[in-house]
Structure 1
Amino acid sequence: MGTREYQVYNPIDIPKSLETDYQQAVPGFFEHDDPQRPLDALPPRFGLLDESADRWATFTSKIVKLNQEAPNGTHFKVFFLGRHGQGHHNVAENKYGTKAWDDYWSKLNGDGELVWGPDPDLTDVGIRQAKEAHAAWEAERKLEVGIPLPEKLYCSPMTRAMHTHIITFDGIITVENQKTLILENCREEYGEHTCDKRRSRTVIHSEFPQLEIEDGFTEEDELWTPERESEEHIITRAKAILDRVFDADAGQFISITAHGGIINAILMAVGRRKYALPTGGVLPIVIKVTNRVV
């Protein structure tokens, strides 16, 4: 597919060219393709319907065949969408309830007992959840024909997501093989909530040197404002992520470690309903993109 320049879209500058239906989810592979299925953070086999011993070989061959037989300009990729483990802001929202959190507490940095802003880290529970995601990957990787490992990995620039990513793929994906790329667009729905204001580029690079930061990443957070990002805009941002991945990456298996808001935006961008993925959860999805002129 053709290349083009990517940017982080500001709420006042949403390209109309992205408001299309050329990105579509392909159902029939995973349990959560059915919205009536119960919600689990880490279901067996990551929810793959095929329970056979050679399930991942069969799945991979199906994806390869889809791409081989696709008409010119149509491409299929598998996205493993990982949500960060529990952060201190999640504890605070549970403490006060969603309405009080949205109306008042989310605008503060803490309550004298908990500190959740800006950019909170994982709790002990969140660290455990990330380790459980790691164990799930290891279990499927150690099969005779294991799960296809991501050929390209992306991550949100928020601390809770970066820590989750590093714990999840420790020893599974090595830095020598490929560096994970931090994308600004992978961050959570931003604005208003202090927990969604990121740290500086310098601090991120200093604390996570094993991760690569995309070109054009600003030193300070220039996107966070006292006004919450709209749903329309975060879906547009999700479409931009998919555009970048399909244009820049030849691989068929992609990992994105991020947040509930942007994961749901990706789902809505490809025609899926919102999915209440628990913290520490992983949701695989097959996405089809049909090329178009921008």
Structure 2
Amino acid sequence: MFDVCVSDEKIWFGTSGFVFYDPDMGGSACPSLFPLHRCKTLHLVRHAQGFHNVAGEKDHSAYLSPELFDAQLTPLGWQQVDNLRKHVNACGLSNKIELVIASPLLRTMQTAVGVFGGGDYTDGLSVTPLMVANAGNSNRSAISSLNAPPFVAVELCREHLGVHFCDKRRSVSEYELLFPAIDFSLMETNEDILWKADVREANEEVAERGKKFMDWLWTRKEKEIAVVTHSGFLFHTLNALGKDLHPLMKEEVCKHFANCELRSIVIVDKSAIGSGNSETNYPGRIPGGLDLPSDSAPKKHSEKGASTNSLA
């Protein structure tokens, strides 16, 4: 369904192997052509450092602790957010993104609004804040939605489900108070019914969920989308979709994400499940006329001449 290639700054990825390793070609990749309106640019971001990352680095069993329920960002994590925000503003990315999708957990939504939001909220603004002050004990000012793209919470891009308390979410009603301008309308239940205390989601199940998430993206009209999610989700999804990549590109695409790392990729819709309309294509001369290619014209003239001679 999705295909892959690499250019100077962009990576295309997929399952049907549009770019592949061919020993007979000296290891070079065969370039392929795709209509622009069959492509979407995704800016994938892993959340910044959370308290569960610190605890788990010291002792892996800490992930089982209820004290890490829906872990929020550390002070260092917020520094990482500030640094990434400076980067997306400096490179112009902040002006291109049409939609921000976030996994509905504290650490991902804090990262999303901190990086792609409208900056500090000022009293008296008529816009709704993306995050209220001190959300998740962050000790941060409120963040405005002014001049920011829409933000949507989507459960399909959550981390591994089950067992680890840091991956269990709060109720939607709690999140709506903390992140008033994030759209939670796609959340099917108020409480977290997906997380199970005694069953951890398998890697293959995460990858399959990732494929469903990519399919869902094609139902969106936006072409340039930021996705703020988790290391495990990204790793298993990209490895499943990028299995046919050249080894060098696979190393670049499919390795683990660092905290607050951003990678920009392009996905290609070969199955035509997305929009079939281009906003930039132009049909040529209007009104229509005879536009024979130059190499076809002599043949047509020759045939016409032969027909005329036969009637003479």
TM-score where L is the length of structure 2: 0.65
SS in 1 for 2:84: helix
Distance 1:224 1:276 in 2: 23
1:276 to 256, 260, 283: 256
Deviation at 1:24, TM superposition (A): 2.4
Summarize the alignment of residues 85-234 of structure 1 with structure 2, pairs less than 5 Å apart: 85-96=48-59, 101=60, 104-109=61-66, 115-116=67-68, 118-141=69-92, 149-171=96-118, 174=145, 178-225=149-196, 226-234=198-206
> Quick check: 1:84 aligned with 2:52?
no
Distance 2:153 2:10 in 1: 29
Distance 1:267 1:161 in 2: 19
Distance 1:32 1:129 in 2: 24
SS in 1 for 2:265: strand
Distance 2:57 2:223 in 1: 37
Deviation digits for residues 188-208 of structure 1 (CA, Å, limit 9, x no counterpart): 111111100000011011111
Equivalence for 1:14: none
Distance 2:94 2:178 in 1: 30
> Quick check: 1:291 aligned with 2:271?
yes
Distance 1:235 1:222 in 2: 20
Pair 292,231 (structure 1): closer, same or farther in 2 beyond 3 Å: farther
2:4 to 21, 25, 42: 25
Question: Structure 1 regions of 5+ residues with no counterpart?
Answer: 1-21, 34-64, 110-114
What is the number of equivalent residue pairs in this alignment? Answer: 220
Pair 224,131 (structure 1): closer, same or farther in 2 beyond 3 Å: same
* Contact 1:23/1:269 (8 A) holds in 2: no
* Contact 1:79/1:287 (8 A) holds in 2: yes
Distance 1:154 1:269 in 2: 21
Stretch deviating more after TM superposition (210-219 or 265-274): 265-274
Please give the root-mean-square deviation of Cα atoms over the aligned residues, in Å.
Answer: 2.5
* Contact 2:10/2:264 (8 A) holds in 1: no
Deviation at 1:291, TM superposition (A): 1.5
Deviation at 1:261, TM superposition (A): 1.1
Equivalence for 2:284: none
Question: Structure 2 regions of 5+ residues with no counterpart?
Answer: 13-32, 120-143, 244-249, 274-312
> Quick check: 1:263 aligned with 2:234?
yes
* Contact 1:119/1:197 (8 A) holds in 2: yes
Equivalence for 2:209: 237
* Contact 2:46/2:261 (8 A) holds in 1: yes
Q: Which has the higher contact order (CA 8 A, sep 6+)?
A: 1
Deviation at 1:292, TM superposition (A): 6.3
Deviation at 1:30, TM superposition (A): 3.2
SS in 2 for 1:255: strand
Pair 153,31 (structure 1): closer, same or farther in 2 beyond 3 Å: closer
Aligned residues: percent identity?
27
- Tell me which structure has the larger Cα radius of gyration: 2
Distance 1:138 1:241 in 2: 27
Deviation at 1:147, TM superposition (A): 6.9
